[in-house]
């Protein structure tokens, strides 16, 4: 797939869990380079493991029902049905029609984000000046990843930000803090139906989102048990 920006020979640098701990047979194992993007398809029951290879790296993730790309993962619906802004093991991520698309399996971090959206041209211009408008950003990354599916930029939904750390204060203030994820931490996402997932390996280096440095992510797909 042309949207891959990966190097397969770098996969496996992190000590993998012993096979007995894995949710299925490995059917895809790759490294998403810093600032890279990818789209991939999961069948119902398959698991996508996202590993933070170098620590403090966010994955902006969007997800679509494969039989109807207009039914996409909704952070808002997921927050309302959980009754909490944070999700982890056992929680479901729902579509705009309140149907489960993904379930969170093992999660060695426990802090992800459903509020902050994606870095994009407009936010970079407002926050960091005109020169920042053309820098790599998640929204453009996700649109490029979904282009082969015919999903245009304006239809790219708000993401589930894996490993992103957005603390919320009692008065409602939010902040972008450095992720809690360390090298080797991972989260498993289990497909609740056939889906298309796109991931932007967040390129933002101007704030604490990725600890001020864009680094690699590991992606592993396991077969359904
Ligand atoms: Zn980003």
Cβ neighbour number for residue 139 with a 10 Å cutoff = 21
Q: Ligand 1 centroid vs 225 CA: distance in angstroms?
A: 33
Q: DSSP class of residue 166?
A: -
Q: Ligand 1 centroid vs 204 CA: distance in angstroms?
A: 5
Cβ neighbour number for residue 87 with a 10 Å cutoff = 23
Q: In what order do the strands lie in the sheet with 92-94?
A: 26-32, 217-222, 47-52, 185-191, 100-107, 92-94
Q: Which has the higher per-residue pLDDT, 208 or 11?
A: 208
Q: Ligand 1 centroid vs 59 CA: distance in angstroms?
A: 8
Q: Which of 78, 105, 80 lies closest to 90, judged by CA?
A: 105
90-114 mean pLDDT: 98
Residue 147 predicted with pLDDT over 50: yes
Q: What is the pLDDT of residues 105-138, one digit of tens each?
A: 999 999 999 999 999 999 999 999 999 999 999 9
Q: Ligand 1 centroid vs 57 CA: distance in angstroms?
A: 10
Residue 17 predicted with pLDDT over 90: no
- What rounded mean pLDDT belongs to the chain? 93
Q: What is the pLDDT of residues 172-201, one digit of tens each?
A: 999 999 999 999 999 999 999 999 999 999
Q: Ligand 1 centroid vs 202 CA: distance in angstroms?
A: 4
32-43 mean pLDDT: 98
Neighbour-count burial of 25, counting CB atoms closer than 10 A to its CB (0-12 exposed, 13-18 middle, 19+ buried) = exposed
Q: DSSP class of residue 194?
A: S
The alpha-helical segments, DSSP class H, found in the chain are 75-82, 121-128, 138-146
End-to-end CA distance of the chain: 26
Q: Ligand 1 centroid vs 8 CA: distance in angstroms?
A: 23
Cβ neighbour number for residue 169 with a 10 Å cutoff = 8
Q: Ligand 1 centroid vs 85 CA: distance in angstroms?
A: 19
How far is the C-alpha of 147 from the C-alpha of 152, rounded, in Å?
6
How far is the C-alpha of 154 from the C-alpha of 51, rounded, in Å?
29
């Amino acid at each position: 797939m042309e949207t891959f920006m990966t190097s397969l020979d770098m996969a496996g640098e992190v000590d993998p869990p012993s096979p007995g701990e894995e949710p299925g047979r490995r059917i895809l194992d790759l490294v998403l380079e810093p600032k890279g993007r990818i789209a991939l398809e999961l069948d119902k029951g398959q698991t996508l493991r996202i590993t933070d290879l170098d620590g403090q790296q966010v994955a902006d993730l969007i997800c679509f029902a494969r039989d109807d790309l207009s039914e996409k993962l909704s952070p808002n619906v997921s927050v309302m049905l959980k009754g909490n802004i944070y999700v982890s093991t056992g929680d479901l991520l729902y579509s705009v029609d309140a149907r489960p698309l993904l379930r969170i399996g093992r999660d060695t971090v426990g802090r992800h984000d459903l509020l902050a959206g994606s870095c994009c041209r407009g936010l970079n211009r407002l926050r960091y000046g005109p020169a920042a408008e053309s820098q790599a950003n998640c929204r453009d990354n996700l649109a490029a990843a979904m282009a082969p599916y015919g999903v245009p930029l304006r239809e790219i939904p708000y993401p589930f930000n894996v490993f992103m750390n957005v603390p919320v204060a009692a008065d409602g203030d939010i902040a972008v803090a450095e992720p809690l994820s360390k090298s080797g931490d991972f989260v498993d996402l289990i497909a609740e139906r056939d889906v298309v997932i796109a991931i932007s390996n967040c390129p933002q280096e101007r704030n604490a989102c990725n600890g001020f440095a864009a680094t690699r992510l590991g992606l592993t797909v396991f077969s359904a048990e």
